[in-house]
Structure 1
Amino acid sequence: MMGKILKGMMIFLIAAILIGAGLFVWARYLEPSLLIVREESMTAPVSQSTRIVFFSDTHFGKWYSPGNIDRVVEKINEQNPDVVIFGGDFFDIYARDKEEIDLEEFSQKLGLIDAPLGKYAVWGNHDYGAGASRIYQEMMEDGGFCVLKNEVQTIEECGITLYGLDDAVLSSPDTDAVFAGDGTDVLVCHEPDIADQMDLHNVELVLSGHSHGGQVSLPYLTERALPPWGRKYIKGSYPLENGMRYVSSGIGMTKLPFRFGNIPEIIVINLHPFI
């Protein structure tokens, strides 16, 4: 009897070790290497159907190799976007990783992104931290991106007005911004929760990142690890009065080189005019 018990315990232990090893390999090497496209469609007061590609939280550096910029650019262009928007946190910790980062090459690669109605970006907390604030805007602009910092940009061809909010963790977002309500108003803010301090009555679309969906999704632990301003809206779509809020799980990693239950993603939002 005792022998059967010991044998059962040994089988259980071996199975637990194999499962644990498999989960480690998945979270450390396999899931972070994926890059999927999630697609959403909605009607909005646009003058023509418009395809927005939104990517966020690349965190290029120690945990997400700068060499991955090629596949990110390729994946974006495969979606045939009209508009491309970056949601912040381009580098992870620039001061730590700058010897491995070629800013000119990044700008050149970003310049290969093809979006006939424009490319736009906002600031994230990692774009301010660790010395990145000195290089972020110039690098993005050299790559053809218009960086919005509490600024508005109208895309007249499709009737979209973009509001790019400043970072909420290390800077000063203008939460008193007034949305005109003419055409389609799109708010882009790195941290999703800050938008609740704004009047979103006239806003059709809010795009955010920051939370990484928790990066590693585990009961109880994930909630405790979520960042400030990214604890209420964690990932996926949430309804607005007149549209939708989408929170991207992002692409790269920070703090730890793991992803589990949050596959790196690029978001496609198809805006269709009312019939």
Structure 2
Amino acid sequence: MKLFRYVGYFFILILIYSFFLEPFSIKKSNLNIDIPEFESNIKIIHITDLHMYKYIFFHDKILNIIREEKPDIILYTGDSIIKNTDKDDLKKFFEELSKIAPVYVVYGNWDYYNLEMVNEVYNQKNIHIINNNTISIYFDDFSLKLIGLPIYKKIEYIDTTPASYTIALEHIPDTIFYNKEIFDQANLILAGHTHGGQVYIPFLTKYFIKKYSFYLRGKVNFNENKIMYINRGLGAWFNIRFLAPPEILIITLN
């Protein structure tokens, strides 16, 4: 009888942790990339899957961490909204984010439920929508190409201009495999969508997520010059996370 009681307490503690602690924690991950003959550093923040309903203390926490890092640019790979997102609160977050550094965004699948609102929120001076598009940023003689992939289809225009380094932004990890030409030229592929499993039970979570995304979370090495990183994201469905805490990725090009 005591054993059942202790098991019950254990599951209650897990539920408290999963609903009230882990969803509001933030883990910083680092990805350091060495580039031969590059004499400076570029710091890039990658975030994804905000899924905001209302602006709360958690969003201040996100912004403060990003401010402390002093990035050169911020890359965001979609899913800003959920059902009944407060537009003014969402706009407040992106206004503050865009004050830190230029923000480059692509759409997530949830964004299409109210794309008009999402575009209105993104319509700010320092926010650049690169969905289905390509942009090049220059740091002296170093050219950084950003390619924004649309969801589950080929990009309409492929920019083959040579660049010092190329990053492909996508929401769903598997999208890159619909775009072989982009895969071939990309050095780094950034994605979100999976929430790192959100409730992560080793082996089991990966099995169930596989039909939505072949890769679940973290760094995938295709070869020494090509990396994919699947960010666990910031928001969550039903505000629950277990062994998949919200993530901010800090990329340094050395």
With the length of structure 2 as denominator, give the TM-score of the two structures: 0.88
Q: Is the 8 A contact 2:172 2:213 kept in 1?
A: no
Q: Is the 8 A contact 1:216 1:260 kept in 2?
A: yes
1:32 and 2:26 are equivalent in the alignment: no
Q: Aligned equivalents of 1:143 and 1:32: distance in 2?
A: 31
The secondary structure found in structure 1 opposite 2:34 is: strand
* Change beyond 3 A, Cα 1:220–1:185: closer
Give how far 1:103 is off.
Answer: 4.8
Mind listing any 5+ residue stretches in structure 2 that lack a counterpart?
none
> Residue 152 of structure 1 aligns with which residue?
134
Give how far 1:47 is off.
Answer: 6.4
Over residues 45-92 of structure 1, what are the superposed CA-to-partner deviations in whole Å (9 max), with x where a residue is unaligned? 65632111000001001xxx4223222111111111111111100112
Give how far 1:180 is off.
Answer: 4.2
Q: Is the 8 A contact 2:133 2:157 kept in 1?
A: no
Give how far 1:224 is off.
Answer: 5.9
Give how far 1:232 is off.
Answer: 1.0
Matched letter for residue 194 of structure 2:
S
Work out which of the residue numbers 110, 126, 130 in structure 2 matches 1:126. 110
1:78 and 2:68 are equivalent in the alignment: yes
The secondary structure found in structure 2 opposite 1:250 is: coil
Give how far 1:111 is off.
Answer: 3.1
Mind listing any 5+ residue stretches in structure 1 that lack a counterpart?
1-9
The secondary structure found in structure 2 opposite 1:156 is: strand
Work out which of the residue numbers 183, 193, 216 in structure 1 matches 2:164. 183
Work out which of the residue numbers 95, 106, 115 in structure 2 matches 1:108. 95
1:55 and 2:40 are equivalent in the alignment: no
> Residue 17 of structure 1 aligns with which residue?
8
Matched letter for residue 31 of structure 2:
E
Matched letter for residue 160 of structure 1:
L
Matched letter for residue 66 of structure 2:
I
Q: Is the 8 A contact 2:97 2:103 kept in 1?
A: no
Give how far 1:145 is off.
Answer: 1.1
Matched letter for residue 12 of structure 2:
A
Q: Aligned equivalents of 2:51 and 2:201: distance in 1?
A: 22
The secondary structure found in structure 2 opposite 1:44 is: coil
Q: Is the 8 A contact 1:110 1:144 kept in 2?
A: no
Structure 1 vs Structure 2 CA RMSD: 2.3
The secondary structure found in structure 1 opposite 2:85 is: helix
With the length of structure 1 as denominator, give the TM-score of the two structures: 0.82
